[in-house]
Structure 1
Amino acid sequence: MSAIPKIKAIIQLFRPDLSLAAGICVVVGELLALGHFPQFQEIILGFAVGFFISGSTLILNDYFDLETDKINAPNRPLPSGMIKPAHVIFLSIITALIGLLASFIISFLALAVAIVLWTIGFLYNWKLKRTGLLGNLLVSSSVAITFIFGAIVVGNPWIIVVWVFSAIAFFIDLGEEIAADALDMEGDKKINSQSLALKHGQNNALKISAVIFALVVLISLIPFILGWLGITYLLMILFMDSIIVYSTFKLLKSEIIDEKRKYARFIYLGATLGLVAFVIGQILI
């Protein structure tokens, strides 16, 4: 295989949208905790921890999901044969070490939290994914912690607005996790998963996911309503919320699985774009 397809396969393993989202969430946590833009070193180190720790666990996800991906996603790098399992493990180790090194440079507390985050990801990929809702809650918790980690990077983890953003991230990811399980039922049956979709049906699981996304929209308005953040935040968050509402509606109405997957991913991307827009807005003000 030539180098270019292999590089593309490695990038695909990273799920760059999710890894970037993790890094961005850390930087947003820093920004919220300080009330102003953090130092360049804090941005780089915090982003690196979020990006590489998340990337490492996402890469491992492909390793442990090989059998189900043969059914649900046969074109992924591992089931398609573009990447060997040994290479996946090696890449996961390297990215984890980079993330842990960056956290060590920040502080021992940051290192401890990074180790916890990576361990949650590993345990989820290895065993806890089949537990259904418990696994969903663990992954969503690790996503939520990225904001708090950002506050830890700048030494100010107890600011309430950081925890509100953490709650937004928790529920966005929980809704996406439940929706993803609902769309991967065939592969999940093979590993005896206890997902909500397998227990209560795909439509019911997607409805639960939609309720969670509605809760995200409500929580996202709290910082503006209570006066913690101003009109710039409101404009950016309304942009995010409009994507979430539209994509959730399409997710429920579409009859085609691939389209449902697309709209579930749009929700995640919409949330990430909203956060990026918020950061840019803070830079320009």
Structure 2
Amino acid sequence: MQTKIHSQYYHPLTFNFVKAYLITMRPYLFFVSGMTGIVGLAYTLPKNLISTISIITASFLSYGFGQALTDCFQTDTDSISSPYRPLTQGIVLKDHFLFVSIAGLIFCITVFVIHNPINLILGTAAGLGLATYTYFKRKFWAGPFYNAWIVAVLCIMAFLTGENSDVKNININFLLVLISVFSGYANFVLSGYFKDIEADKVTGYNTLPVIYGRRFAAYSSDMFALVMVSTGFVIMYLRINEIGSVSSIIPAIAFLSISLLIVFAAQLLLHKVKTDMEAHSAIALVVHSYILQLSGLALLQQSNLLVFLILFYIGFNLVMKFRPEKSQI
């Protein structure tokens, strides 16, 4: 028997509530924030194995808690574009989801703060950014940029947890990594808007494709993709000059090259999208390219991560197959 509050809402201490919250978290996209944290760690010196596991875990979960938090403020458009989501079905209380999301984000931020107190400032800023994202999503000029800076901050927070966790140790390679993270995630956000255009029109979300149409938005997406892949190959060039050899970074080159091919295919598909229901294939490829790109960047610095990153990518593909709504990413 399903236990609900007032015979309508699932009680927080029930399996059904947990299931509903997990659906809202989008576990298949944990790999996006997880990979963002991993690439940040790759450019520093992790303190120990336990530290590494804790940072990757916090990075991994941060997407889910952040997504659930922002969903609490977007039930108007989600009720049209994503009626499968629990918050739009009226089976859970928004206040309960807000509480769990904030508590989860506090946990994730605390993990980063334990390793470096400066992460309290960065984590708080990122948390406030998530809480205010919906306002900026309504502005065609802001949404992708606003969401992307939050993810870039996650990468910085992971970097600052290492032994050489000092802002002075941020070099040109890592700055380029941040640009790649920022542009790659901004592309994911912008391409993601293509699946919600009709709902966003009705509910007043003036996203770029709503205001200027799919064609202009697709070309804008191309620019983000171009910046992501080009910075990756610049980092590769700089790394080759540093180590004076190509042999040790062949796996990294392979990941970066595959990412390039996939994002090229994604952008071609995005230009062909005519309806919201057609967008998910292109968006999925954008996510694949982002994870592969950051995997390649991590391998440029830490080639010993190869087996782990292969398993990580396999895990991502497996979880993607079990998402509850195939037309949604």
Asked if Structure 1 and Structure 2 have the same fold, meaning a TM-score greater than 0.5 normalized by the shorter chain, the answer is yes
Q: Aligned with 2:86: secondary structure?
A: coil
1:233-264 deviation per Cα after TM superposition (whole angstroms, max 9, x unaligned): 21111122222111221222244532312321
- Tell me what 2:155 maps to: 147
Matches within 5 A, 1:188-207: 188-207=200-219
Write the letter of the residue equivalent to 2:263. I
- Tell me what 1:23 maps to: 34
Deviates more, 1:170-179 or 1:75-84: 75-84
Following superposition, the deviation at residue 5 of structure 1 comes to 5.2
- Tell me what 1:171 maps to: 183
Deviates more, 1:265-274 or 1:233-242: 265-274
The CA distance in 2 between the partners of 1:54 and 1:103, in whole Å, is: 15
Using the aligned pairs only, state the percent identity. Answer: 20
- Residues 1:33 and 1:239: Cα distance change in structure 2 (over 3 Å): same
The CA distance in 2 between the partners of 1:115 and 1:62, in whole Å, is: 19
The CA distance in 1 between the partners of 2:127 and 2:28, in whole Å, is: 18
1:168–1:220: 8 Å Cα contact kept in structure 2?
yes
Write the letter of the residue equivalent to 1:40. L
Given the alignment of the two structures, is residue 236 of structure 1 paired with residue 248 of structure 2, yes or no? no
The CA distance in 1 between the partners of 2:96 and 2:283, in whole Å, is: 29
Structure 1: runs of 5 or more not aligned: none
1:248–1:264: 8 Å Cα contact kept in structure 2?
no
Given the alignment of the two structures, is residue 216 of structure 1 paired with residue 231 of structure 2, yes or no? no
Q: Aligned with 1:181: secondary structure?
A: helix
- Residues 1:276 and 1:220: Cα distance change in structure 2 (over 3 Å): closer
Which protein has the larger Cα radius of gyration, Structure 1 or Structure 2? 2
The CA distance in 2 between the partners of 1:61 and 1:274, in whole Å, is: 26
Given the alignment of the two structures, is residue 180 of structure 1 paired with residue 199 of structure 2, yes or no? no
The CA distance in 1 between the partners of 2:306 and 2:133, in whole Å, is: 39
Q: Report the count of equivalent residues.
A: 282
Query: Which of 114, 138, 159 is the matching residue for 1:130?
Result: 138
Following superposition, the deviation at residue 149 of structure 1 comes to 1.7
- Tell me what 1:282 maps to: 304
Q: CA RMSD in A?
A: 2.5
The CA distance in 1 between the partners of 2:141 and 2:230, in whole Å, is: 22
- Tell me what 2:102 maps to: 93
Following superposition, the deviation at residue 104 of structure 1 comes to 2.7
Higher helix residue share: 1
Q: Aligned with 2:87: secondary structure?
A: coil
Given the alignment of the two structures, is residue 33 of structure 1 paired with residue 44 of structure 2, yes or no? yes
- Residues 1:60 and 1:284: Cα distance change in structure 2 (over 3 Å): closer
The CA distance in 2 between the partners of 1:284 and 1:65, in whole Å, is: 38
- Residues 1:262 and 1:80: Cα distance change in structure 2 (over 3 Å): farther
Query: Which of 128, 134, 142 is the matching residue for 1:119?
Result: 128
1:132-172 deviation per Cα after TM superposition (whole angstroms, max 9, x unaligned): 22232111111122222222111144122222111111111
2:195–2:278: 8 Å Cα contact kept in structure 1?
no
Following superposition, the deviation at residue 82 of structure 1 comes to 4.1
- Tell me what 1:250 maps to: 269
Q: Aligned with 2:88: secondary structure?
A: coil
- Residues 1:45 and 1:70: Cα distance change in structure 2 (over 3 Å): same
Q: Aligned with 1:79: secondary structure?
A: helix
1:31–1:38: 8 Å Cα contact kept in structure 2?
no
Deviates more, 1:182-191 or 1:199-208: 182-191
2:195–2:280: 8 Å Cα contact kept in structure 1?
yes
Q: Aligned with 1:54: secondary structure?
A: helix
Following superposition, the deviation at residue 97 of structure 1 comes to 2.1
Following superposition, the deviation at residue 4 of structure 1 comes to 5.7
Q: Aligned with 2:160: secondary structure?
A: helix
